[in-house]
Amino acid sequence: MDEHEAIALPSSVDVIVLRTENDRTIPVAGSRAVDLSVDQPPTADLLSELMDAIVRVRADDGHLPVVLEELRTIAVPPAFAASPWLAHCRPVVIRNDVGRAGALSVRYSDHGGLRISDPETNDDGDDQDG
């Protein structure tokens, strides 16, 4: 590749939606706590819950490039990096159905899925439900 060729970034970002409950971090569809700082792959049961909590945020679902760029700035935690299934996923942690993903505001509900507010317009993008 020469200096004039641009590197194409993927048109989607996978996030794992987690919730905090009683000082524990848990996949939204699960009950097992995850320690994001542990440099070990999750157990099979926890991995299943984490996989069920993955939401793919895609540009073709109406999200502006700035939203995907902001999600890409979220570091992949050691617990995810230790697993080949999760190594590309970023965590989005919510409390009482709201949270932050970098500079973005997010909301989550079992019925509506993940909603990300566009930082430029302060509008919610399309619902994401994985």
In a domain, residue 82? The reply is yes
Residues 75-123 have pLDDT tens digits of: 999 999 999 999 999 999 999 999 998 889 999 998 889 999 866 555 5
In a domain, residue 5? The reply is no
Question: Cα Rg for the chain, rounded, in angstroms?
Answer: 15
Phi first, then psi: give them for residue 45, nearest 5 degrees.
Answer: -65, -45
The count of domains in the chain is 1
pTM (2 decimals)?
Answer: 0.83
In a domain, residue 24? The reply is yes
Residues 33-84 have pLDDT tens digits of: 999 999 999 999 999 999 999 999 988 888 888 899 999 999 999 999 999 9
Domain range for 77 is 12-116
Distance of CA 11 to the CA centre of its chain: 14
In a domain, residue 33? The reply is yes
In a domain, residue 3? The reply is no
User: Do residues 12 and 59 touch, judged by C-beta distance below 8 A?
Assistant: yes
